[in-house]
Amino acid sequence: MKSPLRYVRPNILALEPYSTARDEFSGGNISVWLDANESPYENGVNRYPDPHQKLLKERISRLKGIPANQIFVGGAGSDEAIDLVFRIFCDPGKDNVIAIAPSYGVYSVAAATNNVALRTVQLADNYALPTKELLAAADAHTKVMWICSPNNPTGNAFELSELELLADSFDGMLVVDEAYVDFSDKGTMLSVLANHPNLIVLQTFSKAWGMAGLRLGMAFAAPEVAELFARVKYPYNVNAPTQLEVMRRIDEGVAPQVSEICQQRSMLLAAFAELSIVERVFPTDANFVLIRVADPNAVYDYLVSRGVIVRNRTRLRGCEGCLRITIGTPAENERVVNLLREISK
């Protein structure tokens, strides 16, 4: 197996990470903390948080079945990890990356921010993964390939065998963004992470776990890649209340909510298919449904005028005429179906 370090920018390999006051301390029974220029007045948040999120990583390790030294925890959901991938592997103005299209828009924004060229490859018919075209788009300066699965906004998840083929065939880092994986029965690439040193898997607590407001994401990778994430990230990237709250909510679990969302998803797929205004309902492995309607702008405006907001995706190539509708509570789902029935008359 090729070492993923061969794709890393030389300056990142040579980087000495910032050393916090707590990094320089180990052992001892300390009761007076005068090393970090903090306020000495206890109020619950006057001390810096653990910069390495050790307890949280141990809890995530038990949850996901991945060793703690292969886990990165970041703020801003998965977006911090996305930005770090660019900064670790891509030389600005020189390297490029590949992504499927349509897909999550932050890949493009992060590429532009880091002055890295983004090459997009349109999904095939029925939003199938264009494996050959993705590999053909790479050249000697292609460092990263981005695959969102289940994909946003199309909703479909790709087969693990297809993604493994990309990991085996691509001479670079394959990043599989699994933000919606908890709603899919196609499995997770975490199950084969150990077999692919060039694989990075992104997940988040924002979707199924209901913690979008806490903004906590995860990256899972080979130990040497996870260490690079820890080296390049800013020192205290996840605050203490967030670390504690996430651990508490992990212990509570979300299985009942995920089960209900999947049940409601089946109901919505069937209900949308019966509406005359709906031209096509796309299969989905996520917590949203993509539908094609005759006049998406008019339908969108109609829903907004009645207090319901969905996402109008018609301007995206490959999603012409489409609205993306998140699965809400049973009452919210019934409301959107009834409104679409009204406009279908």
The answer to whether the CB of 201 falls within 8 A of the CB of 190 is: yes
pLDDT digits (tens, 9 = 90+) for 122-151: 999 999 999 999 999 999 999 999 999 999
Confidence at 276, pLDDT banded by 50, 70, 90 = very high
Can you give the pLDDT at residue 25? Answer: 74
Residue type present at position 284: T
What number is the average pLDDT over the span 312-338?
98
Check whether 28 has a pLDDT greater than 90.
no
Check whether 245 has a pLDDT greater than 80.
yes
Comparing 24-38, 218-232, 289-303, which segment has the lowest mean pLDDT?
A: 24-38
Can you give the pLDDT at residue 240? Answer: 96
pLDDT digits (tens, 9 = 90+) for 47-99: 999 999 999 999 999 999 999 999 999 988 899 999 999 999 999 999 999 99
**How far is the C-alpha of 119 from the C-alpha of 106, rounded, in Å?**
14
Can you give the pLDDT at residue 26? Answer: 73
Can you give the pLDDT at residue 345? Answer: 75
Check whether 24 has a pLDDT greater than 90.
no
Can you give the pLDDT at residue 42? Answer: 95
Can you give the pLDDT at residue 162? Answer: 97
Say how many residues make up the chain: 345
Check whether 304 has a pLDDT greater than 90.
yes
In this structure, CATH architecture of domain 255-344: Alpha-Beta Complex (3.90)
CA proximity to 272, closest of 191, 334, 209: 334
Check whether 20 has a pLDDT greater than 90.
no
Residue listed under structure tokens 């979300």: 254
| C-alpha angle 173-2-229 in degrees, rounded to nearest 5 | 45
The long-range contacts involving 212-215, CB below 8 angstroms and separated by at least 24 positions, are 212/77, 214/242, 214/245, 214/246, 215/75, 215/76, 215/77, 215/242
**How far is the C-alpha of 24 from the C-alpha of 12, rounded, in Å?**
22
Q: Which residue has the higher pLDDT, 301 or 25?
A: 301
What number is the average pLDDT over the span 234-238?
94
Can you give the pLDDT at residue 160? Answer: 98
What number is the average pLDDT over the span 161-170?
97
The answer to whether the CB of 229 falls within 8 A of the CB of 102 is: no
CA proximity to 233, closest of 47, 106, 73: 73
Domain boundaries, the chain: 4-252, 255-344
Can you give the pLDDT at residue 108? Answer: 97
Comparing 25-29, 103-107, 198-202, 228-232, which segment has the lowest mean pLDDT?
A: 25-29
pLDDT digits (tens, 9 = 90+) for 169-224: 999 999 999 999 999 999 999 999 999 999 999 999 999 999 999 999 999 999 99
What number is the average pLDDT over the span 261-283?
97
HEC profile of the chain = CCCHHHHCCHHHHCCCCCCCCHHHCCCCCCCCCCCCCCCCCCCCCCCCCCCCCHHHHHHHHHHHCCCHHHEEEEECCCHHHHHHHHHHHCCCCCCEEEEEECCCCHHHHHHHHCCCEEEEEECCHHHCCCHHHHHHCCCCCEEEEEEECCCCCCCCCCCHHHHHHHHHHCCCEEEEECCCHHHCCCCCHHHHHHHCCCEEEEEECCCCCCCCCCCEEEEECCHHHHHHHHHHCCCCCCCHHHHHHHHHHHHHCCHHHHHHHHHHHHHHHHHHHCCCCEEEECCCCCCEEEEEECCHHHHHHHHHHCCCCCEECCCCCCCCCEEEEECCCHHHHHHHHHHHHHHHC
Check whether 30 has a pLDDT greater than 90.
no
In this structure, CATH architecture of domain 4-252: 3-Layer(aba) Sandwich (3.40)
